[in-house]
Amino acid sequence: MDKLVVTGGHKLKGRVTISGSKNSALPILAATLLTPEKCTIHNVPDLSDIRFMLAILRFLGSEVTFEHGTVTVKAEKIHAEAPYDLVRKMRASICVLGPLLARCGEAIISLPGGCVIGDRPVDIHLKGMEALGAQVATEGGNVVARASKLRGVEIYLGSKFGSTVLGTDNVMMAATLAEGTTVIEGAACEPEVKDLAEFLNKMGAKIRGHGTRRIEIEGVKGLHGVEHTVIPDRIEAGTFMIASLITKGEVTVEKMEPGHLNNFIERMKSCGAQFRVGPDWVTSTVPRKMASLDVVTETYPGFPTDMQAQLCALMSVTDGISVITDKIFPNRFMHLPELKRMGAKVDLEGSTAIITGVPGLSAAPVMASDLRASAALVLAGLVAKGRTEVNRVYHIDRGYEQIDVKLRALGAEIERVKSPA
Ligand code: EPU
């Protein structure tokens, strides 16, 4: 397995271009199953999760190409059973459920298993499909959903953790071809959900209210091919801003959407970071010492859970005591024991990390457990004394396009060491 070796102590400086959003691209790719016509999607990041999704689409019968960030998909003749071997590799594959059910009248998808960031049920996705009129059963580890006709309905999609992003996506996609109007209350407002809705509307869907808690979908008879450009990845952008702050450097993050990170930027300002913000770029600096922070992750526009691990890395070298609670994924703290091995002073109480800032970290071999945890360990490595080895780097390749190349261009000392074949 490849690893990243990071030698800390270099201030990052320069410009970095942000890739297209993984979490937007994945459901948008799934949505291509809703039409037999060709869809062209630009700004698709070349990530292993994207490659998994393309493999699923090919398996289902779609013709797929992927070159220079542009994907074309033609789902002319498809079938409705997604293969276990591909689905188990990526939880986001559940978002083919809605499109398959709407297009084929059935969907058979293996139930996503456990996940290191916590129990990740799909009960709300299934509740949504049932409300639209599908019969849903679990057979031999598969979700089997069937419906001769989907019918519009009013449905509340909240969970005890707030709204669900892919659950909202799934129901919204299925409802595009249902008879009548569907109203989703408690919908997720994330920019990625809005991007998907805009993609669907270009295909001929009639969706209103996306980006708010109430989405209305008027069913249509059919959808057509479309061309679309995926929004920039706000989490990649935020991660590079932290790379700038943690090394006390000056990095300009380009081709991003600053408005998608308002909450993050405000929180960082409150503890001493400074930002210059342009229409599609942000420069981050730390003119003085940063202060500690209390943060609770929330659904959009709150502080994103996908930035929690990276924030823990930053706060572990920031004066004072920070208190960071993850309300979305209460068990998403696998990075803490690894940060501890690098000298961080952290305690976990329930779903709250209590971090006492230390003057410096020291390098250690560490193990990535999931995508954002690996990003946090790389960030910690940028300031740790010595050579930090981040093992199991395939996690980071699921969600960051060439992170080592981008960091190196900013002055980081980082290399990818290939494991012997
Ligand atoms: N939940 C349920 N039942 C469901 C669905 C969700 O109880 O049927 C709970 C979850 O267990 C969690 C909360 O609701 O506690 C929110 O989960 P959500 O469904 O919103 O997560 P998701 O849609 O599966 C997406 C992103 C995640 C991101 C979350 C939250 C994609 C492909 N994944 O997951 O991204 O953390 O929304 O914003 O869009 C990442 O990129 O690192 C990542 C994990």
Alpha-carbon span 283 to 357, nearest angstrom: 24
- Containing domain of residue 136, as a range? 22-229
Mutate to test the pocket of ligand 1, among 22, 47, 120 (most ligand atoms within 8 A of CB): 120
The CB of 50 under 6 Å from ligand 1? The reply is: no
Is there a contact between 309 and 376 (Cβ–Cβ < 8 Å)? yes
Q: Where residue 121 falls among pLDDT bands split at 50, 70, 90?
A: confident
Phi-psi region of 39 (alpha: psi -120 to 50; beta: other; left: phi over 0): beta
Alpha-carbon span 256 to 21, nearest angstrom: 10
Average pLDDT over residues 370-386: 97
- Looking at the chain, how many residues does it have? 421
H helix or E strand, kind and range, residue 130: helix 123-131
Q: Where residue 262 falls among pLDDT bands split at 50, 70, 90?
A: very high
In terms of domains, do 185 and 214 share one?
yes
In terms of domains, do 163 and 236 share one?
no
Find the CATH number of the domain harbouring 201: 3.65.10.10
What would the pLDDT profile of 20-60 be if each residue is shown by its tens digit?
999 999 999 999 999 999 999 999 999 999 999 999 999 99
Average pLDDT over residues 121-128: 93
DSSP state of 212: S
Minimal-distance CA residue to ligand 1 atom 20? 164
Atom of ligand 1 nearest to the CA of 122: 8
In terms of domains, do 146 and 87 share one?
yes
Q: How confident is the model at residue 114, as a pLDDT?
A: 55
Average pLDDT over residues 136-147: 91
DSSP state of 369: -
Q: How confident is the model at residue 399, as a pLDDT?
A: 95
Q: Choose one of 200, 229, 258: the last residue of a domain.
A: 229
Give the start-end residues of each E strand in 274-382.
Answer: 274-277, 281-285, 294-297, 321-326, 345-349, 352-356, 365-367
What would the pLDDT profile of 333-355 be if each residue is shown by its tens digit?
999 999 999 999 999 999 999 99
Catalytic annotation, residues: 115
In terms of domains, do 41 and 190 share one?
yes
Atom of ligand 1 nearest to the CA of 328: 15
In terms of domains, do 159 and 296 share one?
no
Q: Choose one of 202, 229, 256: the last residue of a domain.
A: 229
What would the pLDDT profile of 150-200 be if each residue is shown by its tens digit?
999 999 999 888 899 999 999 999 999 999 999 999 999 999 999 999 999
In terms of domains, do 47 and 65 share one?
yes
In terms of domains, do 164 and 292 share one?
no
Q: How confident is the model at residue 306, as a pLDDT?
A: 98
In terms of domains, do 99 and 157 share one?
yes
What would the pLDDT profile of 281-332 be if each residue is shown by its tens digit?
999 999 888 999 999 999 999 999 999 999 999 999 999 999 999 999 999 9
Q: Where residue 362 falls among pLDDT bands split at 50, 70, 90?
A: very high
In terms of domains, do 205 and 175 share one?
yes
Average pLDDT over residues 209-227: 98
Q: Choose one of 196, 212, 229: the last residue of a domain.
A: 229
Minimal-distance CA residue to ligand 1 atom 5? 122
In terms of domains, do 70 and 196 share one?
yes
Ligand 1 centroid, distance to 11 Cα (angstroms): 34
* DSSP state string for 8-75: -----EEEEE--B-HHHHHHHHHHGGG-SSEEEEES----HHHHHHHHHHHHHT-EEEEETTEEEEE-
Number of domains in the chain: 2
What single letter denotes the amino acid at residue 389? E
Residue 403: both structure tokens together: 């992170």
Mutate to test the pocket of ligand 1, among 124, 166, 263, 326 (most ligand atoms within 8 A of CB): 166
The CB of 164 under 6 Å from ligand 1? The reply is: yes
Ligand 1 centroid, distance to 329 Cα (angstroms): 8
Average pLDDT over residues 134-141: 90
In terms of domains, do 123 and 34 share one?
yes
Q: How confident is the model at residue 90, as a pLDDT?
A: 87
Minimal-distance CA residue to ligand 1 atom 33? 23
In terms of domains, do 44 and 141 share one?
yes
Ligand 1 centroid, distance to 122 Cα (angstroms): 9
Atom of ligand 1 nearest to the CA of 118: 11
Count Cβ atoms below 10 Å from residue 201 Cβ, excluding itself: 17
Ligand 1 centroid, distance to 166 Cα (angstroms): 7
Is the pLDDT at 115 greater than 90, yes or no?
no
DSSP state of 334: T
